């Protein structure tokens, strides 16, 4: 059956920054937040070419935004910090990502950080979430829970409305399907047409109709659901995938390896056409899933370097071994120095000293098994 891709691209992108706002910026934000509470509306602050809208929300944070094509910026109050939380969280808006992609997002990030005079280094960045979406015009389609093949233990739910509580069963038309967790890997298939109408998000209709116009087609009339039903297929990756599995932290990492992370995720999820075969792995792939998979592959091909999670894990393990070896050697050199060991006797000293270390290990109040288990628990390689 016929289907048409109306849009594909990033729909969500979130970074945190382990940095602090300046005292001067803190005072301006605090004053604006006070005025926002007093007048019951957002207060605008201009810093060079950047205009911030400061809201009254946020107990111990200053919540601001830079418009529909920008981002939501949340700054921790340096005078009332939430322990262990990042100083800055940047959540990029969907329409800005849809029209400008990663280039626009990074440029906006650096412009705002510069205008606000917030000092930071690249290693202080933490990528915490990426959403990639494909909007497909397919009036004949309706998602079915049984068609989704996901890893064992993945929570799968159907729902019947954009803002409704997830339901396990419903007699009405299914408007969405969600599987997985946003901190790890989550797939959402939902009725984007209804969401656009309910939230008056005409920007998406403009994007869709621009694609229709490029194909010489008439614009969509959303009042007729039977001919304008648009389904969004959206794959979201959280910190467990991005940072822990693929070591994606910075803008450079995002550009280099995001495609690999998505390729890996697509090997673990599949939307199929159910058959009588008891082995779900043999079910044929649904045509809309093939469209979704192919589109992601094409769009993110530039962000691939062929890395697999096992490659990252192996590299991290080797790097940690080398780091510990350098530390051990440094300690041996220091121990030899304060024992007045001469350079010619250093290696003999190392060999003799391992016998003393072995004795200390045997005299330890905890067993070697317990200590190895505890030490190994500090590092996750899977």
**Per-position pLDDT tens, the chain of length 382:** 789 999 999 999 999 999 999 999 999 999 999 999 999 999 999 998 899 999 998 889 999 999 989 999 999 999 998 888 999 999 999 989 998 999 999 999 999 999 999 999 999 999 999 999 999 999 999 999 899 988 888 888 887 654 444 443 334 578 899 999 999 999 999 999 998 888 877 889 999 999 999 999 999 999 998 999 999 999 999 999 999 889 999 999 999 999 999 999 999 999 999 999 999 889 999 999 999 999 999 988 777 655 454 554 555 566 677 778 888 888 989 999 999 999 888 888 888 888 888 888 888 888 888 888 777 766 554 4
pLDDT at site 14: 97
State the Cα angle at 189 between 73 and 275, rounded to 5°. Answer: 155
What letters, b where the CB count within 10 A reaches 16 and e where it falls short, cover 97-122?
Answer: bbebebebbbebbeebbebbebeeee
Q: Which residue has the tokens 């300046």?
A: 22
Point out which residues pair with 89 in neighbouring strands.
16, 74
Q: How many CB atoms lie within 10 A of CB 351?
A: 9
Give the pair of three-digit tokens for residue 212: 């229709």
CA 66 to chain CA centroid, Å, is: 20
DSSP state letter for 43: E
Q: Are strands 88-92 and 4-17 parallel, antiparallel or unpaired?
A: antiparallel
- CA dist 192 and 203 (Å) reads 12
- CA dist 203 and 93 (Å) reads 12
Residue 174: closest CA among 146, 152, 197 = 146
- Asked whether the beta carbons of 129 and 261 are under 8 A apart, the reply is no
């Amino acid at each position: 059956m016929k289907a048409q891709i109306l849009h594909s691209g990033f729909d969500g992108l979130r970074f945190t920054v382990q940095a602090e706002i300046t005292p001067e910026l803190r005072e301006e934000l605090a004053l604006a937040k006070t005025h926002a509470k007093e007048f019951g509306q957002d207060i605008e602050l201009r810093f060079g070419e950047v205009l911030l809208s400061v809201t009254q929300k946020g107990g111990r944070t200053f919540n601001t935004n830079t418009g529909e094509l920008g981002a939501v910026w949340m700054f921790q109050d340096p005078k009332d910090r939430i322990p262990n939380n990042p100083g800055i969280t940047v959540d990029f808006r969907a329409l800005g990502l849809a029209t400008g992609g990663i280039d626009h997002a990074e440029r906006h990030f650096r412009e705002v950080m510069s205008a606000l005079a917030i000092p930071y280094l690249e290693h202080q960045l933490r990528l915490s979430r990426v959403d990639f979406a494909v909007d497909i015009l397919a009036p004949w389609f309706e998602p079915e829970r049984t068609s989704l093949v996901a890893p064992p233990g993945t929570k799968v739910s159907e729902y019947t409305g954009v803002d409704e509580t997830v339901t396990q069963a419903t007699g009405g038309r299914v408007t969405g399907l969600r599987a997985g967790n946003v901190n790890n890997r989550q797939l959402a298939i939902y009725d984007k047409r209804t969401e656009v109408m309910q939230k008056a998000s005409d920007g998406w209709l403009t994007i869709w109709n621009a694609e229709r116009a490029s194909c010489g087609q008439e614009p969509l009339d959303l009042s007729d659901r039977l001919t304008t039903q648009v389904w969004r297929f959206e794959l979201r990756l959280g910190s467990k995938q991005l940072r822990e599995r693929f070591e994606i932290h910075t803008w450079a990492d995002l550009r280099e390896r995001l495609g690999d992370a998505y390729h890996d995720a697509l090997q673990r999820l599949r939307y199929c056409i159910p058959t009588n075969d008891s082995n779900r792995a043999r079910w044929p792939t649904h045509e809309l899933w093939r469209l979704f998979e192919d589109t992601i592959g094409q769009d993110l091909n530039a962000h691939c370097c062929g890395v697999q999670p096992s490659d990252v894990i192996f590299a991290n393990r080797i790097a940690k071994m080398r780091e510990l070896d350098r530390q051990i050697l440094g300690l041996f050199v220091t121990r030899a120095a304060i024992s007045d060991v001469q350079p010619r006797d250093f290696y003999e000293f190392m060999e003799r000293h391992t016998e003393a270390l072995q004795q200390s290990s045997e005299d330890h109040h905890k067993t070697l098994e317990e200590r190895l288990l505890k030490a190994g628990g500090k590092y996750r390689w899977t």
